[in-house]
Amino acid sequence: MSTEDQEAQRDELLALASIYSEDEFKRAEGNFPGGECNLCLELPSDFVISIKSNSATNSSADNFEATVLFLPPIVLNIELPLDYPSTTPPNFTLSCKWLSAAQLTLLCQHLDDLWEENKGSVVLFSWIQFLKEETLDYLNIKSPYEIEVSSNGVQDWMQSPEKTLTDGVLLERGALDRRAIQDVQSVPALIKYILDFSRAQQKKTFDRKPFSCNICLMERLGSECTHFKPCQHVYCNTCLKDYYEVQIKDGQVSSLNCPEPECTSVATPAQVKDLVGEQLFSRYDDLLLQLGLDSMADVVYCPRITCQAPVIQEPESTMGMCSVCQYAFCILCKMTFHGIAPCKVPEEKNDDLDEEDTDDDEEEDEMEYLARQANKIKNVSWIKESTKPCPGCRSPIEKNGGCNKMFCSRCRTPFCWLCLKILYKTKQEPVHNDYSGECISRSSTIFGDGED
């Protein structure tokens, strides 16, 4: 290696490392100088790709169409010979997952032409710029773009004597360049790789872009923000964290939506977990499950106060069997299961019972009458006198002893028995001097983490 060639190679590789990021250019570590270039092309907006397998066992799983913002890179591996650039061109291979071997062969031929035009001078920057900025035009690739893959990963054009590509350029059978590599293992693997890469690049682009939060009016990078994809609104994580923590502590898990007025986009569970942390997310998950169970008509709850586990109601049966505590109960009166014996309905019923129904009830079947009456009974006098609604899920709670600090066994909400305020774990002044006394303020925040 002459001194001039050695200096030219060193200067060229240093220049490439300073121009391109580590994701785009990485110098080789070995006996021969060189490197690897990963070149992502800038696609037109709404770029559509499709994949149709030419396999004899073609299935719908091998056919795919989607709009993508990014495609996997063209990979240029370079090794510089001792007499480059004075005499010999760089040794290289060109690989890609979504370009055929024929298309990659055309690109290899053009890189050779660029070397012939600049023989004796460094050429790597010209190669990289051509591949990055002119590949789509050179190969006449436009949306929609179809990637045809056969069962063995070799393109269909090799099955025929000749194939015409890119505005009259003719490639004959067997004319593939050995430096051109289409890196395709299978159609499903290719589809997964393209989608995963596009999502990762979108996230990387979003993280580097600044956004203005409409809550704090501060400008932050996307890496510090949350993006609601259905509506495209962006808010900073600090504001969303405070907003969602208050909602979860209040038991309002159905309100974890985009803060934009009248926007119906909802935060995903993954977004909520990243914002509020493991502990609050566990509460959010429990409340969300509870909300789903409450909306199911065939789910009742074990009437035992210490259990209250969800029980699936059997069709055309009045018996419920708790799988947790093994308690068999009547789903109508919530008492121990009594078979065909009539329910013992409490004498005092809620005021909203229809008195005029009593004349017609005599003509109804006894079980139908009991079921209809039991469904109308919302609160009996015992519930009115002995329970209070949980401020988190509104379930009736009985106080059977201890201090005034309660803990809902259904939604896990801590609250004060006297004022029904939810207890937050903060450094603010407490509402009570002690939990057996009267509330001294209804505007302060209670703290503590015990339970009855």
Burial class (CB in 10 A: 0-12, 13-18, 19+), 248: buried
Would residue 236 show up in a list of annotated catalytic residues for this protein?
no
Which residue blocks in 337-426 are alpha helix, DSSP H? 358-361, 366-376, 381-386
> Which amino acid is residue 187, in one-letter code?
V
Measured distance CA(422)–CA(374) in Å, rounded: 32
Q: Which of 343, 403, 419, 439 is catalytic?
A: 403
Tokens of 358: 């009593």
> DSSP per residue over 437-452, as a string?
S--S-SSS-B------
8 Å CB contact between 348 and 324: no
Measured distance CA(72)–CA(196) in Å, rounded: 9
> DSSP per residue over 77-135, as a string?
EEE--TTTTTT-PPEEEEEESSS-HHHHHHHHHHHHHHHHHTTTS--HHHHHHHHHHHH
Spatial CA neighbour of 354 closest among 331, 386, 378? 378
Burial class (CB in 10 A: 0-12, 13-18, 19+), 437: exposed
In this structure, which long-range contacts are made by residues 316-319, counting pairs with CB atoms below 8 Å and at least 24 apart in sequence?
Answer: 318/367, 318/371
8 Å CB contact between 21 and 61: no
Tokens of 51: 């994949």
Measured distance CA(337)–CA(327) in Å, rounded: 9
Residues designated catalytic: 403
